[in-house]
Structure 1
Amino acid sequence: MAGNGNGNGDFSLKETSPKIGNGGGNGGEKLTSSFDLVEAMHFLYARIVRARDLPVNDSFVEVKIGSYKGRTKQSLNPNPNPEFHEVFAFTKTRLQGNILEVIVRKRDGSNNDEEIIGKCKFDLAEIPTRVPPDSPLAPQWYRLEDRNGIKINGEVMLSVWIGTQADEVFPEAWHSDSATVTGENVVNTRSKVYLSPRLWYLRVNLIEAQDLVPLHQNRTNPEILIKGFLGNVVVRSRISQSKSLNPVWNEDMMFVAVEPFEDSLVITVEDKVGQREECLGRCEIKLSQVERRVLPGPLPALWYNVEHISEAGATKRFAGRIHLRVSLDGGYHVLDESIQYSSDYRASAKLLWTPAIGVLELGVLNATGLLPMKSRDSRGTTDAYCVAKYGAKWVRTRTIVDTFNPKWNEQYTWEVYDPYTVITIGVFDNLNLFGAGNENRLIKDSRIGKIRIRLSTLVTSKIYTHSYPLMVLKPEGVKKMGEIQLAVRFTTTSMIDMLQKYTEPLLPQMHYVSPLSVYQLESLRHQATHILCLKLGRNEPALGRDVVEYMLDVGSNIWSLRRGRANFERLIAFFDGWIDAWRWFDGICKWETPVTTVLIHIVFLFAVFFPKHCVFSLLLYCIVFGLYRFGLRPKHPPHMDVKLSKADSASADELEEEFDTFPSAKSGDVLKKRYDRLRGIAGRMMIVLGDLATQGERVKSLLSWRDPRATSLFLTFCFVSCGVICLVSMKLLLTFLGFYVMRHPRVRVFDIPSIPQNFFRRLPSRADSIL
């Protein structure tokens, strides 16, 4: 067994009582109502705007209080009047001095020696406090002083105030929590909000081609196929069955296109000659000129000329034409997440969006007990940040450097369009803080853990404050990496609109009118994930591919014996209630408890002779039982369950297989062992599938005359049953059948299968036709 790597770690969900929305701290100032899900953190802000009349051209500003120092970037155009436009934030509870110094320094390029031009000093007790939505403090000019306090030439424009994380400059500010990070890497510590690009499905319906010109005159039966290129995505069609120069396909190729549709679709006609493919010609279609379709319905097909371009690229010649129906289908929802954990189901076309039904607010408070993720200066350390994804909006908190108990206290808001959606929160260790240049962007941030919260499990307008365990499954077993404390609130703007959502289809209409195959959905999801990784990776700070893929559950469809066992037990748990009910009824039929059996006979008679009252009683029972269960309802939102996931009982070999690459990188002996095990599991599944197919075929054979005698007996039974129903009262007939089924064991001959069971098991199936 693979034990968890954190000893007897507690993987349960804990309810917490943080001091949120009360503005706790030394100042007593309250956060605004939009920041009432986090604890108030007070910061000393200093906004450095510009300087003028400096005696040197090359200068920068250093902001210092106690041992904390922050400095502006070097000016790209050195002059006596530099502009900076930077904000510095110092955590008020960690200040080690009472004087804030703003120092203007010069740099001598020859020996890189820094010298002080002048400074300004501010007493912490005299700095004003600002609470949004108050307007920002206007910066003003301050005369520089030398070391002796004498006024000198030169001024600096700045503003200083004490505020909270509700300040609009908070995301862009340099933070003292990340004072050890310098240079270009400072941007990787900041909090950001990202928006996913809007994605559309691009459908290319291949109809036919005509008058193709082969490269070789002796090609009388060419094998023609089509390749579509959109960006770096390539989709191939099947080879046309009509092996001629006028091939026919009637096949769809699907792509994922991103607004504002600046790319072009390239279609090439290929002739497969042996093991190689020769390009007969190509045509280019600009996506900006493609018709957009938001509702089901046919679009006109167009003919496009196919041109063959010479190897030199200078000359083009006519190579045939191709008949295509190209459309941007905005009536679909582009699936970039697993359908079970999706955070949005809206169509691509904004025209089809319905109004929002509510607001989701998330407060990322803090994390506790994080494990060291890397080593720095010969000791373990962690630089943690959070990423939350819901709908098209991604958020990233600032990175808290070198602590196992980071405090973020950042709050974010999303519009909600469907309650059956999931918000995903992931915690990562930032590995891009202490490196050289842009090469650091290639480093994959370490995964600390991930949680999901389904909005439909939340009571509206209630604030949920819980500490969630952060778990990561590793080849050595499941490991608790720490805990994260969150505050969540789901507020609805219209209860009627939200209840109406429960009657509407989950996905847009196009998914049902013109459904896509499982293979197409899987390929399109891979394309969508690739596009998101590229787009989000171009922001600053960038969301790395590893972060995006982890949040979107890329690779969740790879074979996992552990996940297979977990899903099997979920299925068994679903049938357990029915199995228990059948066992209970079997005990009634066998008179194991005579008193209970007699009562069931009385209830059965009541149900037969008074069916209207029986239905009423059943509905009334559901109401009473539902109200009784209200007091036993879950008080906490669901979270990652280690036992349900079989993460605590997975063997080392199972986990090693789950974390193996695809294709596998293991040796032949290991693969042979895994293959033999998989064959054994698949063999049992094959038997179960065969049994299910046999039962279905037996039902169909009742009237198929495959077994003439069985069909004759069944038709005779149906004929006799019709006569009995016409001659005998239905109530008396049901009473007889019910009492016969629940008859006493003394009037049973033997405990053997009944006549209907014996008859059904003798019906033929198509299993005899299987080789």
Structure 2
Amino acid sequence: MTAGNLKLGVDIVSAYNLLPKDGHGSSSPYVELCFDGQKFHSTTKEKDLNPVWNESFYFAISDPAILHSLTLDAYVYNNVKATQSRTFLGKVSINGDSFVPHSDAVVLHYPLEKRGMFSRVKGELALKVYLTDDPKVKPSVPLSAPSATRHTFRTLPKHEDSEKHNHHPPAAVEPLHQGTKYVVDEMKAPEAVPPRIVRMNSPGQPLDFALKETSPFLGGGQVVGGRVIRTDRAPAGTYDLVEKMHFLFVRVVKARDLPSMDVTGSLDPYVEVRVGNYKGVTKHLEKQQNPTWNVVFAFSRDRMQASVLEVVVKDKDLLKDDFVGLIRFDLNEVPFRAPPDSPLAPEWYRLVDKKGDKIKGELMLAIWIGTQADEAFPDAWHSDAASSIDSAAASSSLIRSKVYHAPRLWYLRVNVIEAQDLVPTDKSRFPDTYVKAQIGNQMMRTRPSQARNFNPIWNEDLLFVVAEPFEDHLILTVEDRVGPGKDETLGVVVIPLNAVERRADDRPIHPRWANLEKTALVDVDQLKKDKFSSRLHLRVFLDGGYHVLDESTNYSSDLRPTAKQLWKPPIGILELGILNASGLHPMKSHDGKGTSDTYCVAKYGHKWVRTRTVLDNLFPKYNEQYTWEVFDPATVLTVGVFDNNQIRDRGPNGANRDLKIGKVRIRISTLETGRVYTHSYPLLVLHPSGVKKMGELHLALRFSCTSLVNMLHIYSKPLLPKMHYVRPFSVMQLDVLRHQAVNIVATRFARAEPPLRKEVVEYMSDVDSHLWSMRKSKANFFRLMSVFSGLLAVGKWFGDICSWKNPITTVLVHVLYLLLVSFPELILPTVFLYMFLIGIWNFRNRPRHPPHMNTKMSQAEAVSPDELDEEFDTFPTTRNPDLVRMRYDRLRSVAGRIQTVVGDVATQGERVGSILSWRDPRATSIFVAFCLAAALVLYVTPFQVVAGLAGVYLMRHPRFRHRLPSVPTNFFRRLPARTDSML
């Protein structure tokens, strides 16, 4: 959009079920819009609690750069003409981050909010909010006299307007943007203090598989216990989450006036950059005496053992490349550059021969020493690849670090209702019809119509997953089953997805009639159109009110709906520093020795990141840092390590698969705000021979909260968008849709450069987590037993009391029991006070590190070879005979469902156990405070009053119930479970 013409459009559509305010059971409402110092009024609807306006207003946007910090406020007032006053009916506030272009805008019904603690409101306001740069649309013109029944415009006083426009976020938050790699401090940390390593072992977990807390030097100081202990040489405020690495950057821009080398007078030049044993080479350009390359080479300072840099220009030849000229540089004279300094300007250097005499030709270069925070770092050719790959062009595209953004996914609903006037080939029989719907590789079909006539009825819903930008067409084909294995096409409807209506809430979508096209071909590009009277009645729309589950719900990294106008502001920033890996197992053989070419992939929300590939190194150092915006703490960050198999000995069409080395999952809610977590995570992978440790991955994490109130408020909100509860999906539908979504994301990432391969996307998304496994079933069973072990312990304790095993304890229990029977009003305060004291007591033993995969709990240590063979067997099975295969697959499918149910039950019990365990420090703080307040309230409130109110509330009329989950339910669903530790 053009920034100069950018305007905010607001369509005031209607309101519903407003609160009566005039004393006669009605109100005379109007809407007041406020945005960027401008104010407009709608017309007044006399005595109407369900008014309809359909009025449009356009606000001028003074500075689009601060649009994200602005807010649109819509106030609903009751116009009291008798007293020339107004009463408040409710308000709606919409953040600038949720504004979308006009093509994406839909009508949303916003619930009216209170203005103060004691105000009383109800009802909804329907608005359509969008951005437009259409030059034909002009901002609304201000009127001279404001009136409650006319549109008015007001500009805020100058000091108010300037305050709003000069508002900036705090300095600590301002530089935190997505995809940013932070600048590291230039000072080296003292090497005299070794890093502290603390092993933290779970019960029964082998020590080698345990998490380790480390104390590395990250930029400005050493991390100890989650805090940075600064050094004398590092000024405050300059540390980061990665260790600083120095690189020698050489930018080869272009050359001019190069001499002719061949007899024909032509020249095929290329540049060779040499530092000691490391060499980087550009592409050769045919017949160019003034070539342009614009390539950046990065040489690690830690591996350089030379003091001279040589830049050599050569002429490509069939037998032996000719020397053209060179330039030498003393590395001690190379300047240091660190952002935010501007990039170093390249200069022309005169070529010299091998004796040092000047010759014809010049080369434009820029040479500096920087860190991984340099802008040139991601796209540079790295010296790590020099020993294995001679061509910069062949390696740079496959080893670079990149940021990927997953496409925005929508659910496409196709409601096939009926057909009219079908014309079969054989008119002597009634057709046996069904409808086949296809989008790209996705295909679904309805059941055959029960009505055997020329006007069949289906009324079935078909669900698909589609991604923006919409490139495919929806093809609906009416088929007639003529005989076994023989179907006849009766008509086709082709609908472009760009023309499909979008919906962000549960408002009804009206069906439409579509003309069927008679054709013998289904190919949209080769349709032979033959108009006739057959029609298809259907309802098609894109549903953006859901969160499209592209991964397992237990490990979901994003819970927002698809429609951007439903998004809420972020509650914090997640920073991840991928430091290094150590002790990796060799994944391939090269030059007679085992080696690995590893890279890391981190996934959170729609943003995926990939580090550069470090070649031929079992102890790679990445030291790359990335950030994400956090919208919900009940989400999981996933980091995986892979071996790049696309560089050496590539198969046909790059068919070699990237091998998985291991992954780490970290739930955001288990991280304390502001603390720096530095741990070494063991990379555990289950192989057909058993569980193996493939190495360790060293990460640094920090979760920064932008608003503590907003984050605590999130715990009272539903976990998923509203549509998941209003119109829920079945388990079978979710499995199919998730499989479609993962395939779409993998296809899009495969088209990037470098591509993120399908096996990587599937491994990061836990695509096979729903499949049957005897090991997983046993693990979930023992999880369930662990949950109920608390109840068994209480029963055993009570049995000991009854058997007078400990007389003193038994007497005390009898006294307490008689006391509570005599004063029943003390039962609930005592229970809540007891839970409060338990929570306070457990605070000192609260977990101090994120959870990690537990091989003991996952039953990965004692699994038998036969069970492993079953788990790694393909689905469907490859075992013979065919009858056994069919029964075996059916058994695995049913057992997989049972496994999921048992795991879900165990998850609920584990959430109960985590309330007072400080696993999620914010949730435990909320519950402990609630217990204290409840104990005090219940102490002064008669028990009969509490019991009566509770019973009346539980048996309240459905009119007073809400379709969304209650606040306690939302709080409970956000509590962490031990699923994060499942392998």
TM-score by length of 2: 0.66
Please say if residues 31 and 40 of structure 1, whose CA atoms lie closer than 8 Å, have aligned partners that are also in contact: no
Whole-Å separation in 2 of the counterparts to 1:306 and 1:508: 36
1:15 aligns with 2:213: yes
Whole-Å separation in 2 of the counterparts to 1:78 and 1:415: 50
Please say if residues 280 and 319 of structure 1, whose CA atoms lie closer than 8 Å, have aligned partners that are also in contact: no
* Percent of pairs with identical residues: 54
Among 288, 296, 301, which residue is 1:92 paired with? 301
5 Å-filtered alignment, 1:412-431, equals 412-431=626-645
Match of 1:113, SS state, is coil
Per the alignment, residue 564 of structure 1 pairs with: 777
Per the alignment, residue 350 of structure 2 pairs with: 143
5 Å-filtered alignment, 1:692-707, equals none
Among 367, 370, 389, which residue is 1:181 paired with? 389
More relative contact order, 1 or 2 (CA 8 Å, 6+ apart)? 1
**Which structure 2 residue ranges, 5 or more long, are not aligned?**
1-204, 223-231, 261-266, 906-942, 945-983
Per the alignment, residue 361 of structure 1 pairs with: 575
Whole-Å separation in 1 of the counterparts to 2:601 and 2:505: 35
Whole-Å separation in 2 of the counterparts to 1:42 and 1:290: 53
Instruction: Go from structure 1 to structure 2 and tell me whether the alpha carbon gap of 1:134 and 1:630 turns closer, same or farther (over 3 Å shift).
Output: same
Among 254, 263, 282, which residue is 2:463 paired with? 254
1:227 aligns with 2:453: no
Q: CA deviation at 1:34?
A: 8.4
Whole-Å separation in 1 of the counterparts to 2:566 and 2:238: 30
Among 457, 473, 478, which residue is 1:269 paired with? 478
Whole-Å separation in 1 of the counterparts to 2:715 and 2:534: 52
Per the alignment, residue 388 of structure 1 pairs with: 602
Match of 2:665, SS state, is strand
Whole-Å separation in 2 of the counterparts to 1:287 and 1:29: 60
Please say if residues 414 and 538 of structure 2, whose CA atoms lie closer than 8 Å, have aligned partners that are also in contact: yes
Match of 2:615, SS state, is coil
Instruction: Go from structure 1 to structure 2 and tell me whether the alpha carbon gap of 1:207 and 1:675 turns closer, same or farther (over 3 Å shift).
Output: closer
Per the alignment, residue 239 of structure 1 pairs with: 448
Please say if residues 512 and 537 of structure 2, whose CA atoms lie closer than 8 Å, have aligned partners that are also in contact: yes
Q: CA deviation at 1:439?
A: 3.5
Q: CA deviation at 1:17?
A: 1.0
Whole-Å separation in 2 of the counterparts to 1:675 and 1:212: 43
Q: CA deviation at 1:252?
A: 0.7
Per the alignment, residue 107 of structure 1 pairs with: 316
Among 284, 288, 291, which residue is 2:501 paired with? 291
Please say if residues 476 and 655 of structure 1, whose CA atoms lie closer than 8 Å, have aligned partners that are also in contact: yes
Whole-Å separation in 1 of the counterparts to 2:890 and 2:745: 37
Q: Deviations 1:425-477 (Å, cap 9, x if unpaired)?
A: 111111111235x8353210111111100000010110100010001101110
Whole-Å separation in 2 of the counterparts to 1:539 and 1:182: 24
5 Å-filtered alignment, 1:703-722, equals none
Whole-Å separation in 1 of the counterparts to 2:238 and 2:867: 47
Q: Deviations 1:195-239 (Å, cap 9, x if unpaired)?
A: 11111111111111111111222222x221111111111011111
Q: CA deviation at 1:314?
A: 4.0
Please say if residues 220 and 239 of structure 2, whose CA atoms lie closer than 8 Å, have aligned partners that are also in contact: no
Whole-Å separation in 2 of the counterparts to 1:80 and 1:243: 78
1:215 aligns with 2:425: yes
Per the alignment, residue 610 of structure 1 pairs with: 823
Give the AA of the match of 1:158: L
Q: CA deviation at 1:621?
A: 2.1
1:59 aligns with 2:269: yes
Q: Deviations 1:605-660 (Å, cap 9, x if unpaired)?
A: 22122233343333222222211111000111000110111011111111111111
**Which structure 1 residue ranges, 5 or more long, are not aligned?**
1-6, 693-729, 732-771
Per the alignment, residue 435 of structure 1 pairs with: 649
5 Å-filtered alignment, 1:542-621, equals 542-621=755-834
1:195 aligns with 2:399: no
Whole-Å separation in 2 of the counterparts to 1:296 and 1:631: 47
Task: After superposing the two structures, state which structure 1 stretch, 145-154 or 460-469, moved more.
Answer: 145-154
Whole-Å separation in 1 of the counterparts to 2:543 and 2:688: 42
Please say if residues 195 and 392 of structure 1, whose CA atoms lie closer than 8 Å, have aligned partners that are also in contact: yes
Whole-Å separation in 2 of the counterparts to 1:23 and 1:113: 52
Please say if residues 32 and 132 of structure 1, whose CA atoms lie closer than 8 Å, have aligned partners that are also in contact: no
Q: Deviations 1:679-705 (Å, cap 9, x if unpaired)?
A: 9x979x89x99xx9xxxxxxxxxxxxx
Whole-Å separation in 2 of the counterparts to 1:631 and 1:23: 27
Match of 2:628, SS state, is strand
5 Å-filtered alignment, 1:159-174, equals 159-174=366-381
Please say if residues 23 and 29 of structure 1, whose CA atoms lie closer than 8 Å, have aligned partners that are also in contact: no
Q: CA deviation at 1:175?
A: 0.5
Q: CA deviation at 1:593?
A: 3.5
Q: For the pair shown, which has the larger CA radius of gyration, 1 or 2?
A: 1
Q: CA deviation at 1:8?
A: 7.3
Q: Deviations 1:251-290 (Å, cap 9, x if unpaired)?
A: 1111111112232111111112332222211110011111
Give the AA of the match of 1:230: I
Instruction: Go from structure 1 to structure 2 and tell me whether the alpha carbon gap of 1:112 and 1:298 turns closer, same or farther (over 3 Å shift).
Output: farther
Instruction: Go from structure 1 to structure 2 and tell me whether the alpha carbon gap of 1:127 and 1:81 turns closer, same or farther (over 3 Å shift).
Output: same
Q: CA deviation at 1:164?
A: 0.3
Please say if residues 307 and 319 of structure 1, whose CA atoms lie closer than 8 Å, have aligned partners that are also in contact: no
1:70 aligns with 2:283: no
Among 248, 264, 277, which residue is 1:44 paired with? 248
CA RMSD of aligned residues (A): 2.8
Please say if residues 265 and 286 of structure 1, whose CA atoms lie closer than 8 Å, have aligned partners that are also in contact: yes
5 Å-filtered alignment, 1:458-497, equals 458-497=671-710
Q: CA deviation at 1:676?
A: 12
Per the alignment, residue 564 of structure 2 pairs with: 350
Q: CA deviation at 1:151?
A: 1.6
Instruction: Go from structure 1 to structure 2 and tell me whether the alpha carbon gap of 1:671 and 1:549 turns closer, same or farther (over 3 Å shift).
Output: same
Instruction: Go from structure 1 to structure 2 and tell me whether the alpha carbon gap of 1:35 and 1:235 turns closer, same or farther (over 3 Å shift).
Output: farther
Whole-Å separation in 1 of the counterparts to 2:884 and 2:376: 55
Q: CA deviation at 1:33?
A: 6.5
Whole-Å separation in 2 of the counterparts to 1:613 and 1:491: 42
TM-score by length of 1: 0.84
Match of 1:478, SS state, is strand
Instruction: Go from structure 1 to structure 2 and tell me whether the alpha carbon gap of 1:211 and 1:29 turns closer, same or farther (over 3 Å shift).
Output: farther
5 Å-filtered alignment, 1:492-511, equals 492-511=705-724
Give the AA of the match of 2:543: D
Q: CA deviation at 1:155?
A: 1.1
In the comparison of the two structures, how many residue pairs are matched?
677
Q: Deviations 1:342-380 (Å, cap 9, x if unpaired)?
A: 000111111100001111111111111111111112221
Whole-Å separation in 1 of the counterparts to 2:390 and 2:733: 46
Per the alignment, residue 711 of structure 1 pairs with: none
1:529 aligns with 2:704: no
Q: Deviations 1:316-361 (Å, cap 9, x if unpaired)?
A: 2426111111111111111001000000011111110000111111
Per the alignment, residue 743 of structure 1 pairs with: none
Please say if residues 226 and 270 of structure 1, whose CA atoms lie closer than 8 Å, have aligned partners that are also in contact: yes
1:457 aligns with 2:670: yes
Per the alignment, residue 120 of structure 1 pairs with: 327
Q: Deviations 1:111-164 (Å, cap 9, x if unpaired)?
A: 242112111111000000001111111111111111111222211111000000
